[in-house]
Structure 1
Amino acid sequence: MPPKRTSTSEVPAMTQATIKKLVADSVSTALEAQAANMENTDNITRPREAPVARKCVVGLIRWSEQSESMFSRSNCTEDCKVKFAAGTLTEEALSWWNSFAQPIG
């Protein structure tokens, strides 16, 4: 049986505050981009674009509330919250997380 790998580099811990700031910054950036996009389009396309941004924000809020509810019910420790939340990400959110998490370890 081969020996288990151990890491000699210390991975920086992500606090709940750090995660909330990352999410808030990402949402703010997405909303600013959406607003700029809507400013650059004609009135014919605006009704179709606004619900997309709203749907994303509503989805993010629901995901956050569901995660917090699960943390509360399971008495999840701070260390496990990031792992659990990252495990529930899908599609674009998972791609974003993988690109973010890779550089920091």
Structure 2
Amino acid sequence: MAPRGRPTRLNPGTTPPPVTDTHTTTSVTSAQLQAMIDEGVTAVLAARATTRNGDDSHTSGTGVRRNERAVRECTYQDFMKCQPLFFRGTEGVVDLTQWFERMETVFRISNCTVENQVKFATCTLMGIALTWWNSHARTVTNEVAYAMTWSDLKKKMTTKYCPRNEIKKIEAELWNLKVKGTDVVAYNQRFQELALLCDRMFPEETDKIERYVGGMPDLIYSSVVASKPKTMQEAIEMATELMDRRN
């Protein structure tokens, strides 16, 4: 018997046993091979499509990754660079209206967030207007004061700096406002200034359009009405264009 761990030596003339192959050879036809390749390609394409659809924010329709620019939040410095107007509380109705208009323009061009509108806008108050705002903030706390919406701030300031008798005068002027001669540009400006302070006169946009068109001169009135403007901007553009053609 051969020692353990050493191979057995065969006697001379002995035929070694046949070697058994442990691997089975499988015959694959060309058609089967092509089917396997096609299946693999289909799987790869499906995986790519899933990845692309699941990450649309980073890829274009061609599968090329897009370079996106993060929009930076408007800071107070960004806001002030857009040159908002200051308001002291002694300038009167027209200046308050202009302050409102300019502030809304600055909100747009500076990308000021809704959450920061009142906080940044009230930083432009000066004199008695600033004293009034600080008193209000102390009464309701800063958190509540700055949580106010821009629309609510406008209403509060209109109530404070446009006494009821003044509002009545403005409403009367707006109700009787008409284009003088052919100066529709001046009419547009004055109408918009007054309309900002007379929201209660126009529950719907159509009410404001009707009053605006009512101030048009006869030579363009019918044409503006026939155009059936759906917004104030459409009405203003149509009236201005028609008057320019007449002049």
Which structure is larger by alpha-carbon Rg, 1 or 2?
A: 2
TM-score (norm. length: structure 2) = 0.20
More helix by share: 1
If asked which structure has higher relative contact order (CA below 8 Å, sep 6+), I would say 1
Output the TM-score relative to the length of structure 1.
0.46
